[in-house]
Every structure is written in C-alpha cells, then in structure tokens.
Amino acid sequence: MIDLHMSRMAMRSLGRNQVAAFAQSAVAKVFPEIPADLSLTIRDDAFIRQYNLEFLGSDFATDVLSFPANEPDPETGHLFLGDIILSIDAIERQAARAGHPAFAEAQLLILHALLHINGFDHDNQANKDAMWAEQSRLLAHFAVNVKSLPETNDH
C-alpha cells in the first residue's frame, strides 16, 4: 500500500492516481519478494527544507529525501519500507531544465529514493556507478524517458 500525501500544486502538476499507481508498481519491482508499504509525500521546497533541517541537519531544500524504516507492520504483516518526500518545486525545475515531463522527473526521484531505501548510495564513485546502473535499469523497465539525470543532489 502507498500512503500518499500530495499538495494541491503537486496534484495539479502530477495527478494523484498516476503517482500512486507508479509508486505501487515501483515498490513491487524494487522489493519483489515481499508485500511492502510506503509513505510518499509530495510538497513544496519549504516543506522539504524543514524536514532536511530537522532530520538531517541540512538547512536547504532538496529534490528528494528518503527515510528507511524496513520494519514489519504489526497490523498488516507487510514490511513498512519508510518515507519518501519529494519537492514538487524541484520536480518542476529539474524537469524544465532537462526537457522532460514533470511526471518523468517524479518517477525518477521515486525510483532513486526506493534504491536508497534498498541500501544503495552514491557516496563514492563505485557506489554511484552501481546505483546509477540499477536506476537506469529500472527507468528502462518502466519506460521512463528522462533526458538527463540531476548530478548534484545532496540526498
């Protein structure tokens, strides 16, 4: 199950049902062996900046944050993967800069965050190469056509 929270601006730009369906498919692809749940929030730069400061000590807005939980939900028995927070402002900026739709940028960031929750990181070149290869594989699987990847993310 995807617990989805979107601002009105995000719903206008992306579409709630489209985001929920993609997130559910992405969770099933990245975590194929287990029933898993995820919390996904799409709000503005101010919201994500506050979370970045409060939980990671970084006083700036970013495009995506992921908070892995990887704990069983006692009510459902499903694995609760954690929380993903996306900035609709960053999605729209990065999509415009790259020349692809905002929904494609959101798909990229959802997959990127799921890979972080699954243990991938880009803290050194070898890890980045592995993560980007898996991210590219997933983008191809879902036929997500992104024209370029943001390279300077600090998440």
Which single residue is written with the structure tokens 């890979």?
Answer: 115
Q: What is the pLDDT of residues 8-56, one digit of tens each?
A: 999 999 999 999 999 999 999 999 988 999 999 999 999 999 999 999 9
Tokens for 8, please give them.
């009105």
Please state the φ and ψ torsions of residue 149, each to the nearest 5 degrees: -105, 140
What's the CATH number of domain 2-141, 3.40.50.2000, 1.10.287.3510, 3.50.50.60, 3.40.390.30? 3.40.390.30
Nearest to 142, CA basis, from 17, 15, 24, 14: 24
Task: Report the length, in residues, of the chain.
Answer: 155
* Percent of residues in the chain assigned helix, strand, coil, to nearest 5: 50, 20, 30
Question: What is the spatial distance between Cα 127 and Cα 120, in angstroms, rounded to a whole number?
Answer: 7
For the entire predicted model, the pTM comes to 0.93
Residue ranges of the domains in the chain?
2-141
Q: Mean of the per-residue pLDDT values for the chain?
A: 93
